[in-house]
Structure 1
Amino acid sequence: MKKTSIAILAIVGLIVLFFLMVNYYTEFLWYSSLDITQVMIKPLLWEVAFKLIFWGVGFAFLAANFVPLVNLFNKFSHNLRVVDIDKINSQFKPKKIHALLLAAVLSFFWMIIIPSVWDRVLLAMNSNPTGTVDPIHGMDISFYLFHYPIYEVLASSFLVLLVIAFIGVGISYFVVENFNPTTNNVDLKLSSKGIAHLSILVSLFLVWFILTRSLQRYGFLLTESNSLYGAGYTDVNVRMFFLRIQQVLSIGFLIGMAVNIKLKKKKIFMAIPLSLIIVSLVGGIYAGVNQRLIVSPDEESREHPYIAHHLEGTKQGFGLDSIKREVFPLDQQELTRSDLSGYEETLNNIRLLDYRPLKEHYHQNQSLRLYYDFNDIDIDRYDIDGEQQQVMLSVRELDSDSIPTDTQLNRHFKFTHGHGVVMSPVNQVTSNGHPTYYLRNLPVEAEVDIELEQPEIYFGEMTDEFAVVNTKDGEISFDEKEVVYQGKDGVELNPLRRLLYTTKYQKRILLLSNQITDDSKILYNRNIVDRVNKVAPFITLDGDPYPVVANGRVYWIIDGYTTSDKYPYSQPVNGVNYIRNSVKIVVDAYDGTVDIYQFEEEPIIEAWKHVFPDLIQPREEFPSYLENHIRYPVDLFDVQRNVLTVYHTDNPRVFYNADDVWEIPVERYHGEDIEVEPYYITAQLPNFEQEEFLLINPYTPKNRNNMNAWLAAGNDKDNYGQLYLYTFPPGDHIEGPSQVEAYIDQDPDISQQITLWGQGGSSVVRGNLLTIPIGGSMLYVEPLYILSESRSVPEMRQVLLYYNDVLVMERSLDEALDRLFGVVEDGEEYVPYDPDEIVDRNLRELVEEINSSFKAAEQAAREGNWSEYGSNMDRLAQLLTDLENEVDMDEFQQELDSEVEDGEDIEE
């Protein structure tokens, strides 16, 4: 029976070992295919080395404490045999090997619970001083970023080891020396040998205590005290003082306990730990009394310098210490249409497309195959005919869960990749309210000079399945033609590897399929986020990878961050109080090549460069064809804008009293108030000569709705990463987004129109409200979408503009600008807005659109395209409703007569 159990355990162990080896070896093959085996091997070797060191230290320490107990238990076992109290126990005689085995097992579990330290140690070994010191101890910040985390792990780990030893030794002496087997009585005594042994452990604890008091002094700068992150008045002037006292007294206690190893006095053994506890309690009580009686009555004054440290530390931690602050130069004179001619690039890039309706539109109209879909919508800018044009785009990826006839062959051998990109200018829509296209369809059709020679998407945000390429019959593309993968990525398959990957993925087709040839390769880790996490596990990735069409290919750009929670005096946000956008990662969507480029000189990434040589490339090697597509990351900007709601001030008194707290404003979307998201715009900053691609965010005072400031981040090459904070002059009232939304709700004409659109099963979707600085003032833009009951795709129907207390709604941005700023005649003369003239023009355009929609519906019916027919009929019904709301029927008949007198075929 015993042999059978051993055999079963051995077989189970071998099976587990086999699966572990399969996983490690296939991972090694993947890293080898990318020529970055150092990323896998170095952490593994260092981690194993450190774990073995910890195990060895733990084993030696516990063995040194447990082996002397063998003779003690042998004596106890002899006493049990004398009285024959337990026949089972009487047959057991402890030996040295038993103590060693117990020490080995306990040290193994102790090793397991110790956090991984290989990365901390290697970073510390490769770190350099930052040149910035903390304001209390004068220690370089590199100590906190690199060395303190190691000491913290060591301190907590060795305390656990001491506790294990103390409990084991203490219980042993208590049981053996206080249990009398002849009387079954339990006494409370401790032998001189036990006192000596435990005195050694207490002495070691005192050494630990003395060392960690120094560590705790630095730790005050990394903990929250009295709602202030970092050391406050009581920490610096009381608690740190008592730590010194504790250290001095502990040295005396240590000497006394060392002497007691020889004296073996129970009173000394009990008195020293008790004295240490009393000293610690006195220090804690005194600190509390000091806080209540001295600090709290005059807290703002006492904490003033430490609040200043907190403000400075938080700004440094989140990269806000170099922000440029200016008062926004409000121009009291209203803009005219002639003024707007100086901001053509800004106006031509006002985003009318909202990413939420646009994604649905792409899904419905540009997926084009059941097995293609779009993960999300991204925004970028491209050079179109010599002008910078903002666009929204999305990659047409493979949706493996929608593959027709979902077999292993189809999922992994045939349907292996997505195809192409869909791209739309942000400021253009068709007469039906649909987006226009720069790139669309299958194969990809380009309406502008953007080349895409390699449209296949093997690596993306939705690509989670492995794929086998270069098979006998090839892969299937969108046109059902076979294609052959020619990229660099992939692990070549031979019979042994086929067996290993069959084991890894539990897919028999890898072993049995006759489609696999000598040239076949397996592609895996194809999700770009998972892929980069494996290539650079020490980098925190941005949540929004975005595609770029350049050099005839599709590339993914992912922003990477180096982070820490150990920056002195910096207030943590989501567990992090230091963050830098240190790298940008480029992933080739066709062959999966991953390139990491350093974009900021900061200490953590510099250390990682030495840990993994050749993995991170310098900024200068970033591809020139991607240079104009780098963006300031939204995730980082979102953290920074939230931190600035409180930490925009430099005045400790203002911060303490919370006199100037800001908020992120809200906007209306789909009937709900949501927080305004950061958004990209093209605009000209004050005192700048030309427009820039910016990421911006407005602010409002806490519990108020007017806008008092806005934040912008530069994205263009010469200004990349620079933050600008513009505040409005005190006393000037600038409407905030929620106020403009309220004006829209309260406007009788607009609200009535929205109500009419909402009848008959349609719903109105309000897009992003954009706040655009232009000419010393703020222009607000919000598109309106109509979602009809019969069509699931929203259509953009109106544009709302708000400027200087005037709110208008028109069918296009140009018409809305005409309403606000006047119209242009003969290309030269700028004249004020004439309501009658605009109405006449609107009627003519409405009639033209009605005619166009009707003809399009007729053409669709003749072609049997009933989906397009339904769309045009819905559009026609909406246009007739618009016309009815615009004028009465007599005016309509007059306009209609004027349009058809030349024979136009509009049916009544």
Structure 2
Amino acid sequence: MKKSILIPAILVAVVLLLMLGTSYYTEYLWYSSMGITEVFLKPFVANLAIKAVLFVFAFGFLLANFLPLTKSLSLRRLRVIDASSDSAPGLKKKHAVYVALAVSAFWALVLPALWDRVLLFLNSVPTGEVDPILGWDTAFYLFQYPLLQLLSGAFISLLFFAVIPVALAYFAGGNIAIVNNRLQFDGKARTHLSVLLALFLLWFAASRFLAMADLLTSDSTALFGAGYTDVNVRLPLIRVQQVVAVVLGALVLVNVGLRRSVIVYAVPVALVLMLAVTGIAGAVYQSFIVNPNEQARELPYLEHHLLATRQAYGLDAIDRRTFPLDRQEEITREALAGKDTTLENIRILDYRPLKQHYLQNQSLRLYYTFNDIDIDRYRLDDEYRQVMLAVRELDINALPQRTPINEHFRYTHGYGVVMSPVNAVTSTGHPTYFYRNIPVESTIDLPLDRPEIYFGEMTNQFVVVNSRGQEYGYPDGDDNTQVDYQGTDGVELNPMRRLLFALKYQKPILLLSDEITPESRILFHRNVVERVNKVAPFIHTDSDPYPVVADGRVFWIIDGYTTADNYPYSQPRGRYNYIRNSVKVVVDAYNGTVDVYKFAEDDPIIDAWQGVFPGLIQERSEFPAYLEEHVRYPVDYFNIQADILRKYHVNSPNMLYQGGDVLEIPVEQYAGRETEVEPYYVTMQLPEGEEAEYVLMLPFTPQNRNNMTAWLAARNDGEHYGELVLYSFPRGEHVEGPSQVEAAIDQHPDISSQLTLWSQGGSTVNRGNLLVIPLNGSVLYVEPLYLQSENRSVPEMRQVIVYYQGELAMESTLDQALDAIFGILEDDPEPSEPGEPGEPGDPGAPVDPGQPVIPGTVQELLEQINTAYDDMEAAARDGRWADYGDKVEELGSLLAQLEDLLSADE
């Protein structure tokens, strides 16, 4: 029976060890291929070493407590055998060893991984900033405090594992007895338990230092951090607790010789009373002394809270400016001539319908897809152009035949980028293109020599490259081109590694296939976020990696954050109360190389990690020059800062206490419902600026009101990168907020009737992002309108609404809407004939500024329909199937417009 159980148990253990060893070794191979084995080995070795030290300490401590119990637990004492017997063996010492081994192993294993806290502790440096109450460097709270908290809890649990068995053993052995309703101890039990009690008291005294820090990192009544009662009542009482605990510990040890029962009973009573007095005194003082005059008493601590929160969220250096509002000045198009870059880069494309367009028109094969739409800026032909772009990735779930060979050997990568200017659409309301199609067609001077996407946001499966059969490069008609991977990534596959990877992924094909040659390599961890988390496990990654076309290839830029939850006096937001956008990580979409660059100069946490992994994190000065102009302030970080700033933008602690002047994020209309305005990138000239720059901005409204009172801007370009500017409008001036502009649009008779007409005709009207753009001492509001009817697969940008100083216009193009409000430039060229589509093969000819999107007569539409039909036939004859698909889409759109126009005439 024993063998029948033992053999399967051994087999299960062997299988588990094999799986664990396979996982660790294959991970080591990956880190080795990346040239960063230290990132794998240092945490692994450090964790083993820390656990070993803790295990040895626990084993020694428990064994020292368990060995004396062997005599107390003799079989005679337990009355298992006759007391008169001459052979009354005690429990063997080896039993104490076994129990100590088991308990200490369990204790060490269940403790969380400590490698990160220990290594940060060892590599921390003073910050030079101290908390305002205890005068301790903030490095203590960021590095020492988290480790000491964990070790403190671990020690008291270990003490518990010792005290309970010891007490039970002495009670069972008769060393502790209840006589006349009183506990009586013999000398051995008294000495042993007194030592353990003294250890507890010493731990309690030491833990009072952490209790002091707790006051500064926990919630108070009026603020987060130590308040008036904490500083004036609880903190002094905690110091008294320290002294009392040390005195009680000494008394307990002295009592080993005195054997006074009163001391044994007095110690726990004193501890309970001491803790009760602290709690009750604090509550009474708060209720009767502080609360009646809370604002005045808490004022200095509220100031600590205000300043610390700003510091912790990177808001201490924010630049506050008053927006130079000047509504008296009559602005004409001539006066706006100096704002050309701003006006030419106003975004009329919305990322949501744009993604639908890309999926419909640029996927080109069922197995290609786009994860999301990103926004960036490029210098094209010496012009500053804002663009929206997406990477065409491989969707492994949509392959026509999901065989192991197809999934892992043939279809290995996505292909190319689709890019559109933000300010242009075709005559049918579709986006125009800078990049499109397969192979990539470009209308700009921006080479893309390596369009293959081996590493992306959706590349979650492993692939084998340089196999016997070539990979599919990209679709070419009804066939596929053949390519070999020329990059540097991957782990070489020999017979042993093939076996290990087959076990890791449970894919026998890796072991059995004759596709694999000695030159073959396996590429895994290809998801760029996963890849970054492997290379830099100590950072939190941004939710939106974005692609950049530079140096002839595609790169991913991913923002990384360091966080902490123990920053003194700082208001928590979720699980942390300190955050920095500490690094930017660059991932090559072809080679898979991962480079980490430090961007935060005031972050002690990333400085400590540089000490932990020297050479892994490069300095900002080493960031590639060809990527520098694509660095942008991350939306995730901006959202966090904006959320904190809503309450903590005030300069007065009195105002903070009263909750006055709280800012709110305004709402806008989208898809028939209200939604919060999202931060958006805009190319604009700041009021004091000399030229246009790339800015991330967000408007604010007062709490429970709809007018706009401020807007926050994060600068992105050059030496100004990372600067935050909070513009406040002059008090007493009314500036319309987004919801008020949306209401004005709804109430405008002409616009409202047109929207109703479209809706009644079966079209769905979707409003794009309402952009709030400060301009020439006032504010310009721009909102595109998208229409989607039942017979159209994607929305079309049909109108642009512009609002400025009470004037409202809805026109076919942005230029026409601006002309309607500001007038036409005297030297404007005559508007071109409407509805002229691009030539066949021209990737989405942009609309002329004077060209309306919706033709005014049926005759014009019929001419466009005839032209589109001829172009469609020509594309079919020439085998230009991508153009053919575009023309089919254009023809359908024109026919739908004709239907709308005829319905309106009825």
C-alpha separation in 2, matches of 1:843 and 1:871: 13
2:63·2:97 contact (CA, 8 Å) conserved in 1? yes
C-alpha separation in 1, matches of 2:853 and 2:53: 81
Shift, 1:761, TM fit: 3.0
Alignment-derived partner of residue 838 in structure 2: none
| Pairing 1:663–2:660 present | no
| Pairing 1:146–2:143 present | yes
Deviations 1:301-330 (A, max 9, x none): 000000000000000000000000011110
C-alpha separation in 1, matches of 2:416 and 2:232: 65
Alignment-derived partner of residue 105 in structure 2: 108
* 1:381 alignment partner, one of 373, 377, 382: 377
1:369·1:478 contact (CA, 8 Å) conserved in 2? no
Letter in 2 for 1:159: I
Give the direction of change, closer, same or farther, for the CA distance of 1:823–1:843 in structure 2 (3 Å limit): farther
1:431·1:849 contact (CA, 8 Å) conserved in 2? no
C-alpha separation in 1, matches of 2:174 and 2:821: 96
| Pairing 1:197–2:192 present | yes
Deviations 1:224-244 (A, max 9, x none): 111411111111110001011
C-alpha separation in 2, matches of 1:17 and 1:417: 34
Equivalent positions of 1:754-903 (< 5 A) are 754-827=755-828, 850-859=861-870, 862=873, 868-869=887-888, 871-879=890-898, 881-882=900-901
- Tell me, what secondary structure is at the counterpart of 2:386? strand
- May I ask how many residue pairs the two structures share in their alignment? 872
What is the TM-score with the length of structure 1 in the denominator?
0.93
* 2:201 alignment partner, one of 185, 198, 206: 206
More helix by share: 1
2:761·2:903 contact (CA, 8 Å) conserved in 1? no
- Tell me, what secondary structure is at the counterpart of 1:825? coil
Give the direction of change, closer, same or farther, for the CA distance of 1:428–1:156 in structure 2 (3 Å limit): same
Give the direction of change, closer, same or farther, for the CA distance of 1:866–1:380 in structure 2 (3 Å limit): closer
* 1:245 alignment partner, one of 235, 240, 248: 240
Deviates more, 1:586-595 or 1:147-156: 147-156
- Tell me, what secondary structure is at the counterpart of 2:321? strand
Equivalent positions of 1:315-354 (< 5 A) are 315-332=310-327, 333-354=329-350
What is the RMSD of the two structures over their aligned residues, measured on CA atoms? 2.4
Letter in 2 for 1:145: L
2:341·2:692 contact (CA, 8 Å) conserved in 1? yes
Deviations 1:835-894 (A, max 9, x none): xxx999899765685145312443267467688446524434425635875xx79xxxxx
C-alpha separation in 2, matches of 1:663 and 1:706: 10
2:555·2:588 contact (CA, 8 Å) conserved in 1? yes
| Pairing 1:700–2:709 present | no
Shift, 1:189, TM fit: 4.4
1:179·1:186 contact (CA, 8 Å) conserved in 2? no
- Tell me, what secondary structure is at the counterpart of 1:560? strand
Equivalent positions of 1:288-307 (< 5 A) are 288-307=283-302
Deviates more, 1:470-479 or 1:392-401: 470-479
Gaps of 5+ in 2: 831-848, 877-883
Equivalent positions of 1:669-688 (< 5 A) are 669-688=670-689
Alignment-derived partner of residue 560 in structure 1: 560
Give the direction of change, closer, same or farther, for the CA distance of 1:130–1:805 in structure 2 (3 Å limit): same
- Tell me, what secondary structure is at the counterpart of 1:225? coil
1:295·1:302 contact (CA, 8 Å) conserved in 2? yes
Shift, 1:140, TM fit: 1.4
Alignment-derived partner of residue 458 in structure 2: 462
Give the direction of change, closer, same or farther, for the CA distance of 1:621–1:840 in structure 2 (3 Å limit): closer
- Tell me, what secondary structure is at the counterpart of 2:579? strand
| Pairing 1:366–2:362 present | yes
1:468·1:521 contact (CA, 8 Å) conserved in 2? yes
1:397·1:418 contact (CA, 8 Å) conserved in 2? yes
| Pairing 1:485–2:485 present | yes
1:846·1:883 contact (CA, 8 Å) conserved in 2? no
Letter in 1 for 2:417: V
| Pairing 1:94–2:85 present | no
Letter in 2 for 1:117: L
| Pairing 1:636–2:609 present | no
Shift, 1:439, TM fit: 0.4
C-alpha separation in 2, matches of 1:839 and 1:107: 81
- Could you list the structure 1 runs, at least 4 aligned residues long, displaced by more than 6 angstroms after superposition: 178-181, 838-844
2:361·2:885 contact (CA, 8 Å) conserved in 1? no
Letter in 2 for 1:6: L
Deviations 1:331-388 (A, max 9, x none): 1223211111111100111011111110111001001111110000000001111011
| Pairing 1:257–2:252 present | yes
Give the direction of change, closer, same or farther, for the CA distance of 1:371–1:884 in structure 2 (3 Å limit): closer
Shift, 1:824, TM fit: 2.5
- Tell me, what secondary structure is at the counterpart of 2:334? helix
Shift, 1:792, TM fit: 2.1
Letter in 1 for 2:586: V
| Pairing 1:442–2:438 present | yes
Larger RCO (CA within 8 A; separation ≥ 6): 2
C-alpha separation in 2, matches of 1:234 and 1:553: 61
2:490·2:522 contact (CA, 8 Å) conserved in 1? yes
C-alpha separation in 1, matches of 2:290 and 2:685: 49
C-alpha separation in 2, matches of 1:842 and 1:50: 69
1:791·1:871 contact (CA, 8 Å) conserved in 2? no
C-alpha separation in 2, matches of 1:74 and 1:493: 62
* 1:163 alignment partner, one of 160, 163, 170: 160
C-alpha separation in 2, matches of 1:294 and 1:159: 36
* 1:278 alignment partner, one of 273, 285, 289: 273
* 1:173 alignment partner, one of 170, 174, 180: 170
1:350·1:427 contact (CA, 8 Å) conserved in 2? yes
Shift, 1:13, TM fit: 1.3
Alignment-derived partner of residue 218 in structure 1: 213
Give the direction of change, closer, same or farther, for the CA distance of 1:76–1:318 in structure 2 (3 Å limit): farther
Give the direction of change, closer, same or farther, for the CA distance of 1:672–1:76 in structure 2 (3 Å limit): farther
2:456·2:527 contact (CA, 8 Å) conserved in 1? yes
2:74·2:88 contact (CA, 8 Å) conserved in 1? no
C-alpha separation in 2, matches of 1:784 and 1:842: 12
* 1:405 alignment partner, one of 394, 397, 401: 401
Give the direction of change, closer, same or farther, for the CA distance of 1:614–1:654 in structure 2 (3 Å limit): same
| Pairing 1:230–2:230 present | no
C-alpha separation in 1, matches of 2:338 and 2:313: 36
C-alpha separation in 2, matches of 1:849 and 1:97: 100
Give the direction of change, closer, same or farther, for the CA distance of 1:759–1:868 in structure 2 (3 Å limit): farther
C-alpha separation in 2, matches of 1:795 and 1:383: 28
C-alpha separation in 2, matches of 1:433 and 1:59: 74
Deviations 1:287-313 (A, max 9, x none): 100000010000000000000000000
